[in-house]
Amino acid sequence: MALTIGIPRETADGETRVALIPEVAERLQQSIDGATVQVEEGAGQGAYHADADFEATGCTVTDREAVFDADVIAKVAPPSDDEVQRLSDGQAYIGFLDPLNRPETAQALAERGVTSLAMELVPRISRAQKMDALSAMSSLGGYRAIIRAAERLPKFFPLLTTAAGTIRPARVLVLGAGVAGLQAIATAKRLGAKVFGYDIREPTREEVESLGANFVDLEVDIEADQDESGYAEKLAEEKQERQPELLKPHIAEADVVVTTALIPGQPAPLLINEAAVEAMDPGSVIMDLAAANGGNCAYTEPGETVTKHDVQILGPTNLPAEMPVHASQLYAKTIAAMIEEVVEEGTFTPDFDDDIFAGACLTHGGDVRNDRVRGLLGLEEEEKV
C-alpha cells in the first residue's frame, strides 16, 4: 500500500505552526513514489496556508480521524493525551516530543506500540544538518527576542544625531552564544545597538566577536596552586557558581538583556538575580528565552511579562510561533528530510544501524529506546535488539 503521511491541526495554546507547508508537501509526494499527504482541515490556517493551497499541491484535506489513521504522523508540538490515544500499533510519529521534560509521553507512546522520532534527538552530525529543527527554531527565537525587546524598550536602538542632540545607541547584552544567542546578537547589531555577548564557553568568543559584538570577560579569583586539569575544572565550576555576581555590573549597564542559557531536562541556571534587576535603569528590558525551564532571571514567570524595579521581564515560551510563516517553512523542510531519511521504497523502515534513526528514535516495538529517557522513567537497562 502507498505510504500516507498525516498532518494534524495543532491544538496546543498559542501554536500557529504547521508540520508541512504546501510546497514542501508537494515535493515530498514527488520524492516518495505513491506517497500521499493527508492534511486536517484548517491545519495551515495559523501559518497562512489555506486548505485550498494544500489541495492545489495534491494533498488530501480531510478530518482529524482520517489524518490520525495515516502511516506516519508529523506534528510540531508534542502530542496531547488525546492525540496519543488516537495512535496505534505500527504507526510512526515524527515531531518535537520534549522527551527530557515530558518522559511520560514517551512511555505512553511505547505502550501504544508507536515508533516515534523526536526532532530534539536528531544527532549533531553533518549528514543530519538538514533535519536540525532545534537550530532552525532557535534562530527564529533569537531574532524574535530582539524584535520584541526593541518594541518594549522606551528608547532608540541605533545612534541618532538630530537637531535636538545626539542619542547614544542602546546597549544590548546577550547571555549565551548558542544558535539563539548568536542570532540575537546579529539582529541587535543590524538594528544599530551596541552589543555585548557572554558565554561560559571560551571558544564562543570568536563567534561573538565575528558578529561585531564585544565578548564579556568575567574575572574569577581562584587558588593558583592547582595542576592544569584541576585548575581548569575548578575555574569552570567557580565561574558558573559566581556568574550572577560577576554579571551584575554588566547587566546594570545594559538597556536590554537577552538570556538563552538552557539545558534540556534541567532547570535553567540563574544568571540574573534580584540585585542585578534592581541595578538596571528604569524601562530596561529582559528577554528570558529559558523561561520554559524556569528562566535565567530570578523574576521570570513562564509565558508572562512582569515588571520589577521598573524593569520589564518577559518570559516567552514559544517565540517561533510568533513567526509562523517562516517557522513552518523551516520546520517543514526538516520534517520532510527526516521522512525521506526513514522511508525506503515507499515504506517506513526502522534502521537502527543508521545513526540518524538510532539517535532520533524515542520509542519502538513497545519500548522506550533512549537511555536518558529510560533513566528518567526509572526503567531498567536492557539489551536493545
Selected catalytic residue, list 31, 129, 210, 226: 129
Selected catalytic residue, list 31, 124, 217, 226: 124
C-alpha cell at 316: 516567552
Q: For this structure, is 124 an active site residue? A: yes
Q: Quote the CA–CA distance of 131 and 336 in Å, as a whole number.
A: 8
Q: Quote the CA–CA distance of 21 and 241 in Å, as a whole number.
A: 45
For cell 501554536, name the residue.
Answer: 15
Selected catalytic residue, list 51, 71, 132, 255: 132
Q: For this structure, is 231 an active site residue? A: yes
Who contacts 248 (Cβ-Cβ below 8 Å, separation ≥6)?
273, 275, 276, 279
Q: What 3-state class would DSSP assign to 372?
A: helix
Selected catalytic residue, list 38, 135, 139, 284: 135
Q: Taking a C-beta distance cutoff of 8 angstroms, is the pair 68, 4 a contact?
A: no
Who contacts 145 (Cβ-Cβ below 8 Å, separation ≥6)?
180, 184, 258, 287, 289, 316, 319
Q: Taking a C-beta distance cutoff of 8 angstroms, is the pair 277, 304 a contact?
A: no
Q: Quote the CA–CA distance of 47 and 315 in Å, as a whole number.
A: 23
Q: Taking a C-beta distance cutoff of 8 angstroms, is the pair 198, 175 a contact?
A: yes
Q: Taking a C-beta distance cutoff of 8 angstroms, is the pair 92, 73 a contact?
A: yes
> Of all residues in the chain, what percent are helix, strand and coil, respectively (each to 5)?
40, 20, 40
Q: Quote the CA–CA distance of 317 and 128 in Å, as a whole number.
A: 26
Selected catalytic residue, list 27, 53, 69, 231: 231
| Residue 164 DSSP one-character state | T
Q: Tell me the Cα Rg of the chain.
A: 23
| Residue 59 DSSP one-character state | P
For cell 495543532, name the residue.
Answer: 10
Q: For this structure, is 198 an active site residue? A: no
Active site residues: 124, 129, 132, 135, 231
